[in-house]
Structure 1
Amino acid sequence: MNRQLAGALTGRVTKWIVLVVWLIVAAGSATFAAKLADVQNNEASSWLPESAESTRAFEKLEPFQDPNAIPTLVVYERDGGLTEDDLAAIEEHAAEFAAMDGLAEAREGRAPSVVSPATAEQVGFPAVSQDGTVAQTSVTFDLGSEGWNQMPDIADELRSISELEGVEVYVAGAGGQAADSAEAFGGIDTTLLGATLGVVILILLFTYRSPILWILPIFSAIVALFVSQALIYFLARDAGLTVNGQSYAILTILVIGAGTDYALLLVARYREELRRHEDRHEAMAFALHRAAPALLASAATVALGMLCLLFAEMNSTAGLGPVAAIGVAVTFLVMITLLPALLVITGRWIFWPRRPGYGSPEPTQTGIWAKVGRWIAPRPRQVWVITSVVLAIACLGMLRLDTNGLSTEDSYTQEFQSVTGQQVLVDAGLVDQSNTVMVVGNAGSEDAITEALTGLDDVEPPKPPVTAGDVTFVEAAIGSDPASPEAFVTVERVRDAVHAVDGADALVGGNSAFFLDTRDAANRDNLVIIPIILLLVLLILVALLRSVLAPLILIGTVVLSFGGAMGISALLFEYVFGFAGSDPGFPLFAFVFLVALGIDYNIFLMTRVREETMHFGTRKGALVALTSTGGVITSAGLVLAATFLVLGTIPVVFLAQLGVAVALGVILDTMIVRSVLVTAINMDLGGKIWWPSKLDREDHHLTVEEVRAPIETVH
């Protein structure tokens, strides 16, 4: 941003215009931002890759099963065994279930909407355990395309009807899982935002040592969040953008975290310029002029990195790309317009009690990062080699990272009814009849498909086949948890068996088939998208730094940091938190955020190194840059790490792991990679770092006197 434009945005009149425009936009956005939660699509089928076999099977299942059907189980358990009175009461409950609104219509050849213990044998499955302690009633709902969002209320009604003294009642199956998932993400729009803002405010109070300055960055970040959410609401409502609970949570964290980071960098530069310029408008013009290129490069890196997710097969992953990119773009725009206007309007008093007076000394020149830089300067090669080796050792922890997926029970950080009910069924030797393999094939092949399914391990005897037109449908329950590795093996076994049936053209769908295809698509996305993001970030750095060697080195340091963070995280997940494994999509999500956000701090540092190199040379420039940016980048890293850790307040293992890994990676980037590793490499290579640019060809080595001398920055 040139200085004339920067000055125009924060002039004596235009600052008020900027403020009024943003207030109007924010007020208009607030109503629509509040509606974003209403257009979330957390239905499992909305996450499916279109090319997956389960997706293609789902499309052919429509004549046999409504695509919006939600099979739900009500599980009863009494220690010592259910009595005759219990079973009679359960039958009465089933009659009340049958009178509920939203039941699916019965289809020819299929089980009725409500299957109680008394009718279970008639449709081919046991509903009471052999020891008589557990019984289940199956209830199938059809509430339309938004039915999954209504399941919490349905589950409450089922529990209310099913109350039985001395009997534990659980709502399980697909409907129970949908209700519990909604509970896990319940209040995300207020709880997560409140927790995030609370953490950020505490860090800003500590960083600024001012009781009022934090208000301006926080207000600006909230404006950015409202405007982002409003834009995304319209895209979700009118353009088919997929927004789910995960992307909603990540958007909140990303906007608040990135916005505060940008604010920290801008405010720090503005504080510097206030010591050099008596007029605050002129000081802000210089601050924007010098900080905006780094902020733009940072925002572009994150936004374009997120848009790379559009190459994902998974709709949920692809949907996160535009959601995050919009959030970052809007945040950048707010932070270089609204925040500067607010800072200039309020004047120097907003920094009270540590007001930066005109001509006062810059405190960073004698701070901790100045001491770190002086410690590195005499031995840069030794420092970066040892640091790299330590990070490489940390990368070995990735060998313990298990990304084969999580069972339903292991997917949450707290116990839910659906999970407990599922385990009760397993312990009692009953099969969850809502978890089936659904095989569709050509009419006339039903007998061969049934025969292929019969006798397979973990597969119950197939239900009678149904034929409609030229398509036949065969269904069989499986005994494993829908999302478990055992269920995946069963699905693969079923697919091998039915694919071998001549002329059947069979496709296998169902819950477990969906989870298996999700895992495979996530593994494919990891292999495809990660290299694309690395190439994109490299090109951005080349354009920004006008060098080839420096971007290659920076990419290498960020990848090393990512590996170290993932390695340490894997050990924490297994030995501290006791997680059973990780979601298949976890490595990609962690990589996107760690690389896109981690490279930010290198951008903030290296743009300042380049600026100072033109006056002092590379080695002295690296020392000056570390001294000037060390405090603000460390504070920015702490803010971002803390905001991502807030994801742990949502009782979902995937989000908890993502929060821990990103927070750990950001701390490594700010405290070790950027401050020690990159600075040591800059001091070791000197002017060679800018190859093939001719920015610094003198290759001047720092003397002891230069290292110990007071550090001055460019005026």
Structure 2
Amino acid sequence: MRSAAQDSGGRTRTVSRWRLLPWAVVALWAAAMALAGPSAGRLGDVQVNRAVDYLPASADSTQVASIQDALPGGESTDLVLVYHRDSGLTAADRALADRQTAEVAAGHTLGAPPRAVPSKDGTTLMYPVSTTEPGQDDEARTALVDDVRETVRGGDGLSVAVGGPGALTVDAQKVYGSLGGPLLYTTVAVVAVLLILIYRSPLLWLVPLGVAGVADALSMGVVHALNRAFDVTVTGQSSAVMTILVFGAGTDYALLLVSRYREELTRAERPHEAMAAALRGCGPAVLASSGTVAAGLLCLLAADLSSSRGMGPIAAVGVLCALLAMLTLLPAVLVLLGRRVFWPLVPVYGSEPRRRSLFAAMGGSAGRRPVAVLVTGGVLLGALSLGVLNLPGDLKQEDSFTTKPDSVAAMATLADAYPGRSSQPIAVTTRTERAAETLAQVRATEGVAAAERGRSGGGWTELSVTAAAAPESAGEKATVLALRERLPGSHVGGPGAQQMDLETAGTRDLRVVVPLVLLSVLLILIALLRSLVAPLLLVAAVVAVWGASLGIGGLLFEPLLGLKGTDPGLPLLSFVFLVALGVDYGIFLMHRVREEARRGAEPTEAALTALRTTGGVIASAGLVLAATFAVLTNMPLAGLVEMGFVIAVGVLLDTFLVRTYLVTSASVALQRRIWWPGALSRTPEAPAPRAPEPVEAP
């Protein structure tokens, strides 16, 4: 038998190890940050944000861009200098325009001297300009556009703007380059305010927020390494979404852990004992939910669009870095700070944990009339989904900004002054030996206003084609399709063709990736919940939420937010995020329902107890995640605004309607059948009555 002294010595050594472990974890994270920090700071250097960078390598317009890069001078930068006076251009205006465009030609190597194209109403002069001077260097291209804008200036009622594909690309790169700081600061501020309101502590909110910041830096370093090692496409959009996910999902995991830790502190005397119990209690659910999210996101690797295919691993890295930080660094810091981190609401050992009554009331209403609640919720989601029919058409390049940069102002002026004429070229690349024949075929194609031979090199020749229709209109699309049909062996690209290829690839990806996501998530849920019915219910619920969220977007995008088109990648990306993140919350709830059922609780009692115990933290997590995605609605790019809006609305619907009412009502209505065909679906047999023991006669 062990002596009291031996027991005391063993406990002392155990306590000493627990005291050293948090410091060791913090030291490991400090070392990891020292390694990842330099790479994290260089993530912006590897971002690509041209429309062609989002396209699959097999797209026709991507082939054109690749051939253009190999031609003498590399990819061309096409600009349009626009001079406009509402009352009509004067002779002095035209003379000024000629002098300034001549100065541009003298300062840069242009493909041809600038030639004025006057509008019929006499209000506008358009000077198409093309140069290969900057080559493929983004900084040189930006410097070129900035220099041209410094050279061409108006005044006294004369407006001058620089538009065209090259200017649109530069303005887009400037917007993406400026996102990092404002996005991070706004996200941190929003999460900080919500955590202060949730925790009501002047200190506690700093801990998960600081840990999320560390996870964000680590994820940026990892993504930079992935780009260098495997050429993973990194865009401004994927970087922004990764930051949102790190803070949103990471804070969600922190809320679950801290809530359980606070509860365990009332049962355990020492913080490390309470933390160990908290990790045992909520760790499996957090691991399962984050694994499900990562698996759903990695299904994007099957996408054809380079931007979507790169988004999968980048977003998964964000989720996994957040998980790692919240299950290692956060517990270590909380244990080191002790109970005082919860001041002024410090949990006292031996006290009763506080329960919130709001979700008990919600669960009560769902439990009394489960079928009525289910039908009402289903009808509501179905009605909201009809708004999808009102979604605006495809998003044009000039409508992709929520603000109005110089290039967009130029394109708007051109659209008004030159109705029915394209202001951006269609690029055709053909084999040099067939260039003359191809040029003749192009000029004979319906919808082509003009075509001329461009550069040659490496066996290829570039033709510059002007469509008779406005940019990205139905007429220009018909012209691109006619050229592709008429010119086998040649490639047709340019801004309008790129948008068409984006839409085609987006439609294909939706058809391929959606079933993969549903199948992978469903299989994980079946393995986790040991059931077929519960996983099908959860997946059906999140799909309904996705449809309703897109429907709300269709009702509000144009009337409320002023968005004139829908980003081609919105349906797929919003589906992946809403399904993965929605199932995340479903796992938290159903894992607790299953836990209560295994303890012997009746189905109704198990569902209502799970809602009462997890409803508050799930609601808090949903609010934080929705708020972080809502930050994207303040960004100056329509694609980010649309994605942030749809996902934020979807998370709120999922948190306060689906999880609280519909899943709980379904659990009550289906009773044990929700666990079919698992063991929990069978009614436990009543124990056989014990036979009376024989009594000896006296």
User: TM-score, normalization: structure 2?
Assistant: 0.90
Matched ranges for 1:600-611 at <5 A: 600-611=584-595
Q: Per the alignment, do residues 593 and 466 of structure 1 end up closer, same or farther by CA in structure 2, a change over 3 Å counting?
A: closer
SS at 1:463's partner residue? strand
Give the structure 2 partner of residue 235 of structure 1. Answer: 226
The answer to whether 1:157 aligns with 2:147 is: yes
Is contact 2:70–2:458 with CA below 8 Å preserved after alignment?
Answer: no
Give the structure 2 partner of residue 3 of structure 1. Answer: none
Give the structure 2 partner of residue 123 of structure 1. Answer: none
Give the structure 2 partner of residue 625 of structure 1. Answer: 610
The answer to whether 1:524 aligns with 2:513 is: no
CA distance in 2, matches of 1:687, 1:554: 16
The answer to whether 1:94 aligns with 2:101 is: yes
Give the structure 1 partner of residue 211 of structure 2. Answer: 220
Give the structure 2 partner of residue 373 of structure 1. Answer: 363
Give the structure 1 partner of residue 28 of structure 2. Answer: 21
Is contact 2:401–2:638 with CA below 8 Å preserved after alignment?
Answer: yes
User: Which of 111, 114, 123 does residue 113 from structure 1 map onto?
Assistant: 111
Give the structure 2 partner of residue 176 of structure 1. Answer: 167
- Name the aligned partner's letter for residue 315 of structure 2: A
Q: Per the alignment, do residues 140 and 667 of structure 1 end up closer, same or farther by CA in structure 2, a change over 3 Å counting?
A: same
Aligned length, in residue pairs:
669
Give the structure 1 partner of residue 647 of structure 2. Answer: 662
Give the structure 1 partner of residue 415 of structure 2. Answer: 426
Instruction: Please state how far the C-alpha of 1:30 moved relative to its aligned partner.
Output: 2.9
The CA deviation string for residues 595-623 of structure 1, in whole angstroms up to 9 with x for no partner, is: 11111110111111111111124321211
CA distance in 2, matches of 1:485, 1:597: 37
Give the structure 2 partner of residue 11 of structure 1. Answer: 18
Give the structure 2 partner of residue 305 of structure 1. Answer: 296
CA distance in 2, matches of 1:293, 1:241: 31
The answer to whether 1:271 aligns with 2:262 is: yes
The CA deviation string for residues 411-444 of structure 1, in whole angstroms up to 9 with x for no partner, is: 2212121111112223222855542242525734
Matched ranges for 1:435-584 at <5 A: 435-441=425-431, 443-444=433-434, 446-447=436-437, 449-454=439-444, 456-457=446-447, 459-464=448-453, 471=460, 473-499=462-488, 505-584=489-568
Is contact 2:26–2:333 with CA below 8 Å preserved after alignment?
Answer: yes
- Name the aligned partner's letter for residue 192 of structure 2: I
CA distance in 1, matches of 2:16, 2:324: 12
Q: Per the alignment, do residues 297 and 146 of structure 1 end up closer, same or farther by CA in structure 2, a change over 3 Å counting?
A: farther
The answer to whether 1:394 aligns with 2:394 is: no
CA distance in 1, matches of 2:15, 2:128: 67
SS at 2:492's partner residue? strand
Is contact 2:162–2:410 with CA below 8 Å preserved after alignment?
Answer: yes
* Larger displacement relative to structure 2 (19-28 or 282-291): 19-28
The answer to whether 1:35 aligns with 2:42 is: yes
CA distance in 2, matches of 1:361, 1:75: 73
- Name the aligned partner's letter for residue 667 of structure 2: N
* Larger displacement relative to structure 2 (585-594 or 619-628): 619-628
The answer to whether 1:586 aligns with 2:570 is: yes
- Name the aligned partner's letter for residue 581 of structure 1: G
CA distance in 1, matches of 2:256, 2:382: 30
Q: Please list every run of 5 or more consecutive structure 2 residues that lacks an aligned counterpart in the other structure.
A: 1-13, 686-698
Is contact 1:129–1:135 with CA below 8 Å preserved after alignment?
Answer: yes
Matched ranges for 1:73-152 at <5 A: 73-100=80-107, 103=108, 112-113=110-111, 115-116=113-114, 120=115, 127-142=117-132, 147-152=137-142
* Larger displacement relative to structure 2 (257-266 or 568-577): 568-577
CA distance in 2, matches of 1:198, 1:143: 43
The CA deviation string for residues 24-58 of structure 1, in whole angstroms up to 9 with x for no partner, is: 32244333212211211113322221222222344
User: Which of 340, 348, 351 does residue 349 from structure 1 map onto?
Assistant: 340
CA RMSD after TM alignment: 2.5
Matched ranges for 1:244-259 at <5 A: 244-259=235-250
Q: Per the alignment, do residues 184 and 469 of structure 1 end up closer, same or farther by CA in structure 2, a change over 3 Å counting?
A: closer
Q: Per the alignment, do residues 380 and 130 of structure 1 end up closer, same or farther by CA in structure 2, a change over 3 Å counting?
A: closer
Instruction: Please state how far the C-alpha of 1:250 moved relative to its aligned partner.
Output: 0.7
Is contact 2:424–2:466 with CA below 8 Å preserved after alignment?
Answer: yes
Is contact 1:46–1:316 with CA below 8 Å preserved after alignment?
Answer: yes
CA distance in 2, matches of 1:694, 1:8: 40
CA distance in 1, matches of 2:551, 2:131: 44
- Name the aligned partner's letter for residue 49 of structure 1: P
Is contact 1:450–1:474 with CA below 8 Å preserved after alignment?
Answer: no
Give the structure 1 partner of residue 597 of structure 2. Answer: 613
Give the structure 1 partner of residue 329 of structure 2. Answer: 338
Is contact 2:451–2:466 with CA below 8 Å preserved after alignment?
Answer: yes
SS at 1:443's partner residue? helix
Instruction: Please state how far the C-alpha of 1:64 moved relative to its aligned partner.
Output: 5.5
Matched ranges for 1:411-422 at <5 A: 411-422=400-411
Instruction: Please state how far the C-alpha of 1:548 moved relative to its aligned partner.
Output: 1.5
Give the structure 2 partner of residue 281 of structure 1. Answer: 272
Give the structure 1 partner of residue 397 of structure 2. Answer: 408
Instruction: Please state how far the C-alpha of 1:23 moved relative to its aligned partner.
Output: 2.3
Is contact 1:453–1:497 with CA below 8 Å preserved after alignment?
Answer: no
SS at 2:344's partner residue? coil
User: Which of 627, 641, 666 does residue 626 from structure 2 map onto?
Assistant: 641
Give the structure 2 partner of residue 261 of structure 1. Answer: 252
Q: Per the alignment, do residues 63 and 84 of structure 1 end up closer, same or farther by CA in structure 2, a change over 3 Å counting?
A: farther
CA distance in 2, matches of 1:63, 1:286: 62
- Name the aligned partner's letter for residue 368 of structure 1: L
Is contact 1:633–1:670 with CA below 8 Å preserved after alignment?
Answer: yes
Give the structure 2 partner of residue 328 of structure 1. Answer: 319
Is contact 1:127–1:135 with CA below 8 Å preserved after alignment?
Answer: yes
* Larger displacement relative to structure 2 (70-79 or 292-301): 70-79
Is contact 2:134–2:141 with CA below 8 Å preserved after alignment?
Answer: no
CA distance in 1, matches of 2:409, 2:499: 20
Instruction: Please state how far the C-alpha of 1:134 moved relative to its aligned partner.
Output: 2.0
The CA deviation string for residues 454-511 of structure 1, in whole angstroms up to 9 with x for no partner, is: 3623x21222477768655443112545444443233113323435xxxxx3332222
Q: Per the alignment, do residues 564 and 161 of structure 1 end up closer, same or farther by CA in structure 2, a change over 3 Å counting?
A: same
SS at 1:12's partner residue? helix
Instruction: Please state how far the C-alpha of 1:162 moved relative to its aligned partner.
Output: 1.4
Instruction: Please state how far the C-alpha of 1:272 moved relative to its aligned partner.
Output: 1.3
CA distance in 2, matches of 1:351, 1:469: 69
- Name the aligned partner's letter for residue 278 of structure 2: A
CA distance in 1, matches of 2:185, 2:124: 42
Is contact 1:224–1:334 with CA below 8 Å preserved after alignment?
Answer: yes
Q: Please list every run of 5 or more consecutive structure 1 residues that lacks an aligned counterpart in the other structure.
A: 1-6, 105-111, 121-125, 500-504, 701-715
* Larger displacement relative to structure 2 (651-660 or 128-137): 128-137
Identical counterparts, % of pairs: 41
* Larger displacement relative to structure 2 (598-607 or 233-242): 233-242
CA distance in 2, matches of 1:128, 1:10: 82
Give the structure 2 partner of residue 599 of structure 1. Answer: 583
- Name the aligned partner's letter for residue 115 of structure 1: P
The CA deviation string for residues 104-143 of structure 1, in whole angstroms up to 9 with x for no partner, is: 6xxxxxxx43532xxx2xxxxx533344432233443446
- Name the aligned partner's letter for residue 382 of structure 1: A
* Larger displacement relative to structure 2 (183-192 or 291-300): 183-192
Is contact 2:429–2:460 with CA below 8 Å preserved after alignment?
Answer: no
Q: Per the alignment, do residues 483 and 261 of structure 1 end up closer, same or farther by CA in structure 2, a change over 3 Å counting?
A: farther
Instruction: Please state how far the C-alpha of 1:146 moved relative to its aligned partner.
Output: 5.2
Give the structure 2 partner of residue 704 of structure 1. Answer: none
* Larger displacement relative to structure 2 (674-683 or 384-393): 384-393
SS at 1:13's partner residue? helix
CA distance in 2, matches of 1:480, 1:62: 27
- Name the aligned partner's letter for residue 655 of structure 1: L
Is contact 2:56–2:62 with CA below 8 Å preserved after alignment?
Answer: yes
Is contact 1:440–1:473 with CA below 8 Å preserved after alignment?
Answer: yes
Is contact 1:97–1:114 with CA below 8 Å preserved after alignment?
Answer: no
* Larger displacement relative to structure 2 (204-213 or 354-363): 354-363
Is contact 1:610–1:618 with CA below 8 Å preserved after alignment?
Answer: no
